[in-house]
Amino acid sequence: MGSYRYFVAWVLTSLCVAPGCSNLVGLNGYSVGGVAGEAEGRVPNDAGRSGAAVGGDSANGGSAGDLGGDAGSGEPASGGSAGRAGSSGEGGAPSGCSGGCDDANECTDDACVSAECVHQPVALGTACGKGQSCDADGVCVSCVDTAAGTARDMGCPATAPVCVGTGGAAVCGGCTTNQSLIAADPAKGNGSFESGSKPATGWEEDGPYYITKNCSSGCTPGSNSGLTYASIGKVVAWLGGIADADFGDLNRVISLPAGAVSLHVQADTNFQTGSTTNAGYFQVRLMDAGYAQIGAPLYSKSAASVQLGDTHVWTTNGIDVTTDVTALGGTDVSISFYSYTDPLHLSDFFLDNVRVSVTVCQ
CATH number at residue 212: 2.60.120.260
Task: Let me know whether 351 and 309 are in one domain.
Answer: yes
Q: How much is the pLDDT for 12?
A: 40
Last-in-domain residue among 121, 144, 172: 172
Task: Let me know whether 39 and 163 are in one domain.
Answer: no
Q: How much is the pLDDT for 253?
A: 97
Task: Let me know whether 129 and 51 are in one domain.
Answer: no
Phi first, then psi: what are they for 266, rounded to 5°?
Answer: -135, 150
Q: How much is the pLDDT for 267?
A: 98
Last-in-domain residue among 136, 153, 172: 172
Euclidean distance between CA atoms 263 and 323, whole angstroms: 5
Task: Let me know whether 16 and 162 are in one domain.
Answer: no
Domain contains 335:
yes
In 32-131, beta strands by DSSP E: 108-113, 116-121, 127-128
Of 89, 91, 97, 92, give the one whose Cα is nearest residue 114. 97
Domain contains 103:
no
Task: Let me know whether 48 and 148 are in one domain.
Answer: no
Euclidean distance between CA atoms 81 and 68, whole angstroms: 14
Q: How much is the pLDDT for 39?
A: 34
Query: Which DSSP letter does residue 157 get?
Result: -
Q: Which residue(s) pair with 155 in the sheet?
A: none
Number of domains forming the structure of the chain: 3
Task: Let me know whether 194 and 255 are in one domain.
Answer: yes
Domain contains 63:
yes
Task: Let me know whether 201 and 342 are in one domain.
Answer: yes
Q: Which residue(s) pair with 286 in the sheet?
A: 335
Task: Let me know whether 126 and 51 are in one domain.
Answer: no
Domain contains 99:
no
Distance from the first to the final alpha carbon of the chain: 110
Task: Let me know whether 135 and 42 are in one domain.
Answer: no
Q: How much is the pLDDT for 224?
A: 92
Task: Let me know whether 83 and 124 are in one domain.
Answer: no
Task: Let me know whether 40 and 140 are in one domain.
Answer: no
Q: How far lies 10's CA from each of 32, 204, 351, in Å?
A: 9, 116, 121
Domain contains 102:
no
Q: How much is the pLDDT for 309?
A: 84
Q: Which residue(s) pair with 231 in the sheet?
A: none
Euclidean distance between CA atoms 232 and 353, whole angstroms: 7
Euclidean distance between CA atoms 148 and 295, whole angstroms: 15
Last-in-domain residue among 127, 154, 172: 172
Domain contains 217:
yes
Task: Let me know whether 213 and 71 are in one domain.
Answer: no
Domain contains 101:
no
Confidence (pTM):
0.60
Q: How much is the pLDDT for 333?
A: 98
Determine the structural domain holding residue 153 and report its residue range.
108-172
Euclidean distance between CA atoms 246 and 238, whole angstroms: 14
Average pLDDT by consecutive 10-residue portion of the chain (362 residues)?
41 42 40 36 36 37 40 43 44 65 92 92 90 89 84 86 85 86 94 94 94 95 93 96 88 94 96 90 97 98 91 95 94 97 92 96 76
Domain contains 116:
yes
Q: Please answer whether residues 279 and 342 qualify as being in contact, where contact means their C-beta atoms are separated by less than 8 angstroms.
A: yes
